[in-house]
Structure 1
Amino acid sequence: MNITNQFFTPVMVQSRTIASHAGRLMPGIMLCLGVTAVAVVGAWAQRAAFGTVWLEELVLAILLGIVVRALYAPTAAMLVGIRFCAKQMLDVAVMVLGLSISTHMLFGKGVALPLGIALFVVMAIATSYAIGRLFGLPSRMATLIACGNAICGNSAIAAIAPVIHAEGEDVAASISFTAVLGVALVLLLPLSVTLLHMQALQYGALAGLTVYAVPQVLAATAPAGASAVQFGTLIKLTRVFMLGPVVIFLACLVQTTAKNRTDVISASRTSADLPAKTFLLHQCVPWFILGFLGLALMRSMHLVPLIAIQPALQVSSALTVVSMAGLGLSTDLQSLAGCGLRVSITVLLSLLLLLLAGLGLIWILGV
């Protein structure tokens, strides 16, 4: 009898702890799911009325969350679940995105193209970050805008935000302004085919280098034909592949900066020499980015069944929308008003430079 109690008592205590934690999360999670449901219906209504979606579920979720927060301040009990959606759900969603990346697709046309795109992404990040800082944006917001502009828009912003410890207001502002320009770019970019007398592959390359999201690339290149769609998607996915290396670099940079600050504080104290710390990858790179790279490697090695990839990406997309609802519900609308003009100017100038750089890369590579 005593042995039975010794076995079951810890299990029962742990079960009650898990149930209690889940109970504290539920109010906030239910509110996020409610906002998500309205966003999904809104996207469906756009598709039914106009045949296309101008504002995706992700953007609608964060905007609706901001509106709800402005009209109704969530209680302390709800904030626990809201933060869970904005952080933990987002981590899982980013990790699963690794299934969309294949190194075979990246290097299938030789190394010149991926190397050129990698350099293009690095220069775009540096230039956009410099513009943001020039207009007085905080370092973290400038980083979010730069990476979103150079890599994959909202997805990059969502993936990088937890790595650099960005505030919800920074994420909301970055995504909101980037989303608006992303839609405008899809509508206006096809005009370049006529204005610049571009061939299908050239236009596909330009769309792949500049348009933010993969679905937007498909929409922007569809008028130019199948070859533009295929080439534009290939280049866009190559940009997306840069998300992993960029996040690792930023994570190591954040870790090094934090360590240097600690070393400065420690140096002011009189103590014996401390033992040197061993470098541990998981301390520098968040677990979900390691998972992202691991899944990308498994996809490249054909260890993931093809039938499982699309459902997994749909789950990732759903979790991202819920997490954006959580971010919106965590955002104070008044904090966005103070940086609106600076953010919009930064995003617009960054996009214009991205277009010019894209045309330059197309000319250099002789596409």
Structure 2
Amino acid sequence: MTSTALKPTPSTRSSLLPGLFVTGVAVAISMAVGSMGVSALLVAIVLGVACGNLLRLPVALDVGLAFASKRLLRVGIVVLGLQLTVGEIWALGPRLIAVVVAVVVIGILTTLGLGRLLGVSPTQRLLIACGFSICGAAAVAAVDGVIDAEEDEVVTAIGLVVAYGTTAMLLLPLAATLIGLPPELTGLWAGASIHEVAQVVAVGGSLGTVALHCAVVVKLARVLLLAPVMAAVSIGARRRHVATGRRPPVVPLFVAGFLAMVALRSTGWVPDAVVPVASTVQTVLLSAAMFALGTGARLATFRRLGPAPLILGAASTLVVSLVALGGTLLAT
């Protein structure tokens, strides 16, 4: 990222406090609005963009905002691993696991190809491809943690993934009704295609307990693929930076932490009561990161991006949805 507000410098604990305090207030507002059915991450990033463009934020906030946009973001992705168990994913069976892999692989490759045709920058199309194909804003943030994209590209990708995911959340049940899908298959389709975990939970919950379980497990299987995809992205980044000496690790530390949390949850040592708490903690951490990222984005820069990312987001949503539907029908 290029903004000075997002480049941490050596500091004392006290220099973090102003930025973290403002971030904490923004997170509290985001969580309050989120409790009414709106994505807390979306609210946080909108607040960040508004503050960054309408207010002159004091320089004293820079260090705390930088800490939130980098460190808290990565911790949030690590905590995300506590929602997964290998056993639940394995129980899907080889056919549904193959569908999940196909959705992620075809979704990413198709989005990257379409993005190239539309003239979208390489980093922007990679952010959109992973966000739309894997797990929404968390995937966008994870990719940014590896490739260090521009703030406006990250904010755009997150905004698109939330907007299109919300649209899919509303339209998918209607489409399922029109083509006569039973609730269980609708839940599988939702889990394999809708972008955010929270959006999948909302759709699955409206269909009944069994459909909810199907939707969530399939969605979490997509989330699990975040680790190998980030490893592949990191290897690509290492090759591009071979001449500069700034090569990232093959498996970034936060991805290793994510896998460690998956392994820990899979042992059965984590009490069930911890999981919803971890989910809330993850939302708080990622909301903090979204707000901090938003403060570094400038609306004038979005005009430079043009309509191409919007078109790419729509195309990616359609591709992922169709691959998920076709795969679900074939697998079941």
Q: Find the counterpart in structure 1 of residue 106 from structure 2.
A: 123
Q: Deviations over 1:270-295 (max 9, x none)?
A: xxxxxxxxxx9x83222111111111
Structure 2 residue 318 is the aligned partner of structure 1 residue 355: no
TM-score, with structure 1 as normaliser: 0.83
Q: Distance in 2 between matches of 1:20 and 1:109?
A: 48
Q: Find the counterpart in structure 2 of residue 14 from structure 1.
A: none
Structure 2 residue 259 is the aligned partner of structure 1 residue 293: yes
Structure 1 stretches of 4+ with a deviation exceeding 6 A read none
Residues 82 and 330, structure 1, Cα contact 8 Å, conserved in 2:
no
Tell me the SS of whatever aligns to 1:284: coil
Residues 97 and 221, structure 2, Cα contact 8 Å, conserved in 1:
yes
Residues 40, 242 of structure 1: CA spacing in aligned structure 2 closer, same or farther, 3 A cutoff? same
- 1:107-186 pair list within 5 angstroms: 107-186=90-169
Q: Find the counterpart in structure 2 of residue 241 from structure 1.
A: 224
Q: Distance in 2 between matches of 1:339 and 1:258?
A: 25
Q: Find the counterpart in structure 2 of residue 93 from structure 1.
A: 76
Residues 40 and 283, structure 2, Cα contact 8 Å, conserved in 1:
no
Tell me the SS of whatever aligns to 2:201: helix
Q: Distance in 1 between matches of 2:208 and 2:313?
A: 29
Q: Distance in 2 between matches of 1:100 and 1:58?
A: 18
Deviation at 1:230, TM superposition (A): 1.8
Q: Distance in 1 between matches of 2:250 and 2:12?
A: 28
Select which of 45, 57, 70 maps to 1:62. Answer: 45
Q: Find the counterpart in structure 2 of residue 337 from structure 1.
A: 303
More deviation, 215-224/350-359: 215-224
Deviation at 1:77, TM superposition (A): 2.5
Unaligned 5+ residue runs, structure 1?
Answer: 1-18, 48-52, 264-279
Residues 190 and 221, structure 1, Cα contact 8 Å, conserved in 2:
no
Q: Distance in 2 between matches of 1:353 and 1:113?
A: 18
Deviation at 1:303, TM superposition (A): 3.5
What code does the residue aligned with 1:304 have? V
Structure 2 residue 173 is the aligned partner of structure 1 residue 203: no
Q: Distance in 1 between matches of 2:186 and 2:275?
A: 29
Residues 70 and 289, structure 2, Cα contact 8 Å, conserved in 1:
yes
Q: Find the counterpart in structure 2 of residue 25 from structure 1.
A: 16
Structure 2 residue 64 is the aligned partner of structure 1 residue 102: no
Structure 2 residue 17 is the aligned partner of structure 1 residue 34: no
What code does the residue aligned with 1:215 have? A
Q: Distance in 2 between matches of 1:193 and 1:95?
A: 34
Tell me the SS of whatever aligns to 2:147: coil
Residues 194 and 321, structure 2, Cα contact 8 Å, conserved in 1:
no
Deviation at 1:117, TM superposition (A): 1.3
Residues 94 and 292, structure 1, Cα contact 8 Å, conserved in 2:
yes
How many residues align? The count is 322
Select which of 46, 69, 75 maps to 2:58. Answer: 75
Tell me the SS of whatever aligns to 2:307: helix
Q: Deviations over 1:206-261 (max 9, x none)?
A: 111111122211222334333322212221111111111111111122112211x3
Tell me the SS of whatever aligns to 2:46: helix
Structure 2 residue 249 is the aligned partner of structure 1 residue 309: no
RMSD of aligned Cα (Å): 2.0
Select which of 165, 176, 192 maps to 2:175. Answer: 192
Residues 70 and 145, structure 2, Cα contact 8 Å, conserved in 1:
yes
Residues 200 and 215, structure 2, Cα contact 8 Å, conserved in 1:
yes
Residues 98 and 295, structure 1, Cα contact 8 Å, conserved in 2:
yes
What code does the residue aligned with 1:35 have? A
What code does the residue aligned with 1:78 have? L
Q: Distance in 2 between matches of 1:57 and 1:126?
A: 29
Calculate percent identity across the aligned residue pairs: 30
Residues 321, 162 of structure 1: CA spacing in aligned structure 2 closer, same or farther, 3 A cutoff? same
Q: Distance in 2 between matches of 1:328 and 1:230?
A: 34
Unaligned 5+ residue runs, structure 2?
Answer: 1-9
Residues 89 and 217, structure 2, Cα contact 8 Å, conserved in 1:
yes
